[in-house]
């Protein structure tokens, strides 16, 4: 008989929205014949990715959608970013996101050091000269970004960050728990800050930047501190052999930390100019060797953060067109959803439910034939929680975990 | 004013389904004018009996529907089967389901001993000759089935079962917890196995069976081990005087263990040939003396396990016709639902939500006028959890338990 065998899980990052003055959303305004055909063949619903009214981060959202209990495993974004840029983090490591920044007389004057885009030799210098009271790993990432990982016994994520998040006085880290580990970790972080300031202050790159009237990258601000969680591998939880296709380090890192195979995509930028067609090709290939493919497409979130209705709408139309080249038969359950709402009106994540659709064998197809926030709310799945969607999907594959006899 | 006074709770066991190739389900395909009239007068919804995507057992499902916290009270099916065949189990007893089986040279060659149908004298022999290191009760049940109950201090359900569930090597029980009780219980179970083998091996019934070329019933395989939970009586929880009308030992046992009156029905078999008319007569009588009647009708689940779409559809039509003779006015809330989905395509329970309807005084009747999985998803109750339906019903009777002032 007919039971689906694979899952393609598409996350349109931040695609959901609230109505603007025109009483519509980008997803409602966009012409999306492919999504609508999936809606017609499938079942729709709305989903509280974390909880009603709670704006999810992209990190907690993806963990929740993959079925992990975020309230137990999540302490911060750093671990996932670190894994996503290729650091082999271990459970218990303390990881941070970092920004190369410009600090002058104790004031952060530019959090991105004039959007510096090559920090390789600065990072080399940090790696060579830094001497901390614990093992550490430091790695540059895209643009002004970097990650720091502290490793060993007696460390804690219970400390404040050094990134003020806006122009203003530089911050020192403080423990927020009354234990020796937190005190020690804050001390190490402040030591990192002092040493990095010395290492970068007179680095040839910065001397040259000052000479060219560019802001020097003379500090590294830390944020997103978290302890690397022990995550039961996704394959062990679900029996599915999984791959992740994404452009952002965060989502890649979540894939890697849950044991998925990361498939890089040429030209995938995480911006609205991303090469979606290339991602679709990768998905089609990946579905031949995997039973679960997580595809994250980031652009709509970016447009939402920029408050650009038209850019978000057009990007979603471009995604719809690109995804119409997916090679998916009825044996592949297709999920289309968002990890959170990023309203044009807020330019930030919100806690509105996101729309979702499931299409494939065994699905109780409903009467809907359009995919957007409004129609999804009338769909046959009604309203579920983010953590419930993976059990629903594995159950559709006939792999539900029975409770009772 | 008009407030309903009684509840008739009808569980169409395993009646819910997924769409097959014809994009329909037995409940959708069946002609069910009575259910549809109830739908028209009442309110519909879908229900996650345990949790979204979790396939319930019939045991956990019924407990949840009756409002019990299954994750706290449920350790296995044995206790309910034991109560259902008439053993007066006590909280803390360790109970098993048993199968008379044929074992040859350590291999289970037939789990049902050639579907033996009378095990009375074999069971008498076990009761008379068995000598275990604790108090015990053994009772034969329908066909090849039986139950074993161990009683006393220092026993534990944390052991493995001896039933391999398929043809293959016989299993010995092992403790799965590192405590003396588990070790002792596994030892007692293995002693049971050895003694039963000796008692049955040369029993006249088996000598005669071998002579007639029938498989001897020379072993009893045990499964479904569980500790009898302490269940707060249903009447104490809800204020309702309850009766259970069902054919299967499991549901009868759940009724008995929650303090309901069990009303036996002549000709109720638990199969698709069951005498539903007789059950309906019993319900009509029971509603005169009780304020809650649980009616379980098993056949649709059986047809689902057999993967027989037509049998399931026709059975549901037969049920609809029989139930149309229910004598129920508006003062009786009627609930029609399923304990779980048993898709034709899986032949096993699945975690899809089940449809339900509530009809009677006080119900906010919605626009639906047909009862099936699809229409229910559009109903006014949206989507609820199994454990919530009893509070909803008692509240409709004006007996809700207020929280706050």
Tell me the shortest Cα–Cα distance from B350 to chain A, in angstroms: 6
pLDDT per position as a tens digit, A95-106: 999 999 999 998
Q: How far apart are CA A169 and CA B387, in angstroms?
A: 53
Report whether pLDDT(B354) > 80: yes
The verdict on a CB contact (< 8 Å) between A391 and B51 is yes
pLDDT, residue B1, reads 56
The verdict on a CB contact (< 8 Å) between A403 and B224 is no
Residue A365: which of B19, B57, B343 has the nearest Cβ?
B19
Q: How far apart are CA B87 and CA B258, in angstroms?
A: 14
Residue B59: which of A365, A378, A404 has the nearest Cβ?
A404
The verdict on a CB contact (< 8 Å) between A400 and B53 is yes
Q: Confidence band (pLDDT; 50, 70, 90) for A220?
A: very high
Tell me the shortest Cα–Cα distance from A41 to chain B, in angstroms: 10
The verdict on a CB contact (< 8 Å) between B52 and A384 is yes
The verdict on a CB contact (< 8 Å) between A404 and B373 is no
**H helices present in A139-260, as ranges:** 180-201, 204-211, 234-238, 249-257
Q: Is A366 near chain B, with CB under 8 Å? A: yes
Domains assigned to chain A: 6-74+230-396 (3.40.720.10), 82-227 (3.30.70)
Q: Are strands B6-12 and B242-245 parallel, antiparallel or unpaired?
A: unpaired
Contact B263/B289 with Cβ under 8 angstroms? no
* Mean pLDDT of all residues in A382-401: 97
Q: How far apart are CA B44 and CA A162, in angstroms?
A: 54
Residue B54: which of A363, A366, A400 has the nearest Cβ?
A400
Q: Confidence band (pLDDT; 50, 70, 90) for A162?
A: very high
pLDDT, residue A274, reads 82
The verdict on a CB contact (< 8 Å) between B61 and A404 is yes
* Mean pLDDT of all residues in A55-75: 96
Q: What is the mean pLDDT of chain B?
A: 96
Report whether pLDDT(A84) > 80: yes
Q: Is B367 near chain A, with CB under 8 Å? A: no
Backbone angles phi, psi at A32, to 5 degrees: -135, 75
CA-to-CA separations, A270 to A62, A213, A246, A315, B381, in angstroms, rounded: 16, 30, 8, 12, 41
Residue with tokens 């997924």: B18
Contact A93/A79 with Cβ under 8 angstroms? yes
* Mean pLDDT of all residues in A157-161: 97
Among B28, B29, B54, the strongest candidate for a mutation testing the A interface, having the largest count of A CBs within 10 A, is B54
Query: What SS3 state is found at B227?
Result: strand
The verdict on a CB contact (< 8 Å) between B53 and A395 is yes
pLDDT, residue A1, reads 54
Interface size between A and B, measured as CB pairs under 8 A: 108
Contact A97/A145 with Cβ under 8 angstroms? yes
Q: What does the block give as tokens for B346?
A: 């899986």
pLDDT per position as a tens digit, B253-291: 999 999 999 999 998 887 888 889 999 999 999 999 999
Report whether pLDDT(B119) > 70: yes
Pick A117 or B320 by higher pLDDT.
Answer: B320
pLDDT, residue B20, reads 83
Q: How far apart are CA A379 and CA A365, in angstroms?
A: 9
Rg (CA), chain B: 22
Q: Is A383 near chain B, with CB under 8 Å? A: yes
Give the Cα-Cα-Cα angle A77, A193, A179 (nearest 5 degrees): 65
The verdict on a CB contact (< 8 Å) between B53 and A388 is yes
Contact A4/A362 with Cβ under 8 angstroms? yes
Residue of B nearest to A394 (CA): B53
Residue with tokens 């019934």: B205
Contact A398/B54 with Cβ under 8 angstroms? no
Q: Is A106 near chain B, with CB under 8 Å? A: no
| A residues 306-365 closer than 8 Å to B (CB) | 361-365
Maximum Cα–Cα distance for chain B, whole Å? 75
The verdict on a CB contact (< 8 Å) between A395 and B350 is yes
Chain A residues with CB under 8 Å of B344 CB are 1
Contact A300/A13 with Cβ under 8 angstroms? yes
Residue with tokens 């709509």: A300
Q: How far apart are CA B37 and CA B316, in angstroms?
A: 15
Chain A residues with CB under 8 Å of B382 CB are 382-383
pLDDT, residue A21, reads 76
| Closest listed residue to residue B377, CA positions, set B351, B343, B342, B353 | B353
pLDDT, residue A22, reads 82
CA A235 remoteness from chain centre: 20
Q: Is A381 near chain B, with CB under 8 Å? A: yes
pLDDT, residue A350, reads 98
Residue with tokens 């044995």: B78
| Closest listed residue to residue A90, CA positions, set A7, A151, A158, A46 | A151
Tell me the shortest Cα–Cα distance from B166 to chain A, in angstroms: 16
Distance linking the first and last C-alpha atoms of chain A:
23
Residue of A nearest to B349 (CA): A402
CA A48 remoteness from chain centre: 17
Tell me the shortest Cα–Cα distance from B316 to chain A, in angstroms: 19
Q: How far apart are CA B346 and CA B137, in angstroms?
A: 36
pLDDT per position as a tens digit, B13-65: 999 999 987 789 999 999 999 999 999 999 999 999 999 999 999 999 999 99
Q: How far apart are CA A162 and CA A244, in angstroms?
A: 32
Chain A residues with CB under 8 Å of B352 CB are 364, 395
| B residues 41-70 closer than 8 Å to A (CB) | 46, 50-61, 70
Report whether pLDDT(B160) > 60: yes
Q: How far apart are CA A40 and CA A175, in angstroms?
A: 53
Tell me the shortest Cα–Cα distance from B55 to chain A, in angstroms: 5
Q: Confidence band (pLDDT; 50, 70, 90) for B368?
A: very high
Q: What does the block give as tokens for B362?
A: 């006080």
Q: What does the block give as tokens for B236?
A: 């104490």
The verdict on a CB contact (< 8 Å) between A395 and B351 is yes
Question: What's the helix, strand, coil split of chain A in %, to 5?
Answer: 35, 20, 45
pLDDT, residue A82, reads 97
Chain B residues with CB under 8 Å of A379 CB are 377
Q: Confidence band (pLDDT; 50, 70, 90) for A124?
A: very high
Residue A365: which of B23, B352, B378 has the nearest Cβ?
B23
**Which of A48-62, B14-28, B333-347 shows the lowest per-residue confidence on average (mean pLDDT)?**
B14-28
Q: What does the block give as tokens for A3?
A: 């039971």
How many residues are recorded in chain B? 405
* Mean pLDDT of all residues in A108-126: 95
* Mean pLDDT of all residues in B185-205: 97
Distance linking the first and last C-alpha atoms of chain B:
23
Query: What SS3 state is found at A98?
Result: strand
Q: Is A2 near chain B, with CB under 8 Å? A: yes
Q: How far apart are CA A285 and CA A386, in angstroms?
A: 27
The verdict on a CB contact (< 8 Å) between B53 and A405 is no
* Mean pLDDT of all residues in A180-197: 97
Query: What SS3 state is found at B189?
Result: helix
Handedness of CA A379, A381, A385, A388 (dihedral sign): negative
0.90 cut: is pTM over it? yes
Q: Is A398 near chain B, with CB under 8 Å? A: yes
Contact A19/A344 with Cβ under 8 angstroms? no
């Amino acid at each position: 008989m007919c039971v689906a065998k694979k899952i393609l899980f598409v996350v349109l990052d931040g695609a959901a929205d609230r109505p603007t003055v025109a009483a519509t959303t980008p997803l409602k305004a966009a012409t999306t014949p492919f999504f609508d055909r999936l809606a017609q063949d499938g079942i729709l619903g709305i989903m509280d990715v974390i909880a009603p009214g709670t704006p999810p981060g992209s990190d907690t959202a993806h963990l929740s959608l993959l079925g992990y209990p975020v309230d137990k495993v999540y302490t911060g974004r750093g671990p996932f970013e670190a894994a996503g840029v290729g650091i082999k983090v271990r459970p218990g490591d303390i990881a941070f996101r970092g920004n190369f920044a410009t600090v002058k007389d104790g004031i952060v004057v530019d959090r991105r050091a004039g959007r510096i885009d090559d920090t390789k030799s600065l990072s080399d210098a940090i790696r060579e000269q830094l001497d901390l009271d614990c093992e550490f790993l430091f790695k540059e990432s895209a643009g002004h970004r970097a990650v720091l990982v502290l490793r060993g016994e007696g460390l804690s994520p219970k400390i404040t960050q050094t990134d003020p998040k806006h122009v203003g006085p530089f911050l020192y880290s403080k423990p927020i728990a009354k234990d020796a580990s937190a005190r020690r970790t804050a001390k190490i972080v402040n030591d990192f800050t002092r040493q990095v300031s010395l290492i970068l202050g007179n680095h040839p790159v910065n001397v040259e930047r000052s000479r060219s009237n560019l802001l020097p990258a003379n500090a590294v601000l830390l944020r997103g501190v978290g302890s690397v969680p022990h995550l039961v591998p996704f394959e062990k939880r679900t029996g599915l052999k999984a791959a992740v296709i994404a452009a952002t380090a965060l989502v890649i890192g979540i894939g890697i930390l849950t044991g998925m195979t990361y498939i890089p995509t040429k030209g995938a930028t995480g911006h609205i100019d991303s090469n979606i067609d290339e991602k679709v090709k990768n998905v089609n290939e990946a579905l031949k060797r995997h039973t679960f493919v997580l595809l994250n497409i980031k652009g709509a979130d970016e447009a939402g953060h920029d408050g650009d209705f038209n850019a978000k709408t057009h990007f979603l139309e471009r995604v719809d067109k690109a995804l119409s080249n997916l090679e998916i038969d009825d044996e592949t359950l297709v999920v289309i959803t968002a990890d959170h709402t990023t309203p044009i009106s807020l330019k930030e994540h919100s806690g509105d439910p996101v729309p979702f659709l499931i299409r494939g064998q065994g699905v109780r197809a409903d009467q809907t034939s359009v995919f957007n926030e409004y129609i999804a709310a009338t769909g046959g799945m009604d309203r579920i929680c983010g953590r419930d969607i993976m059990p629903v999907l594995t159950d559709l594959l006939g792999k539900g975990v029975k409770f009772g006899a």
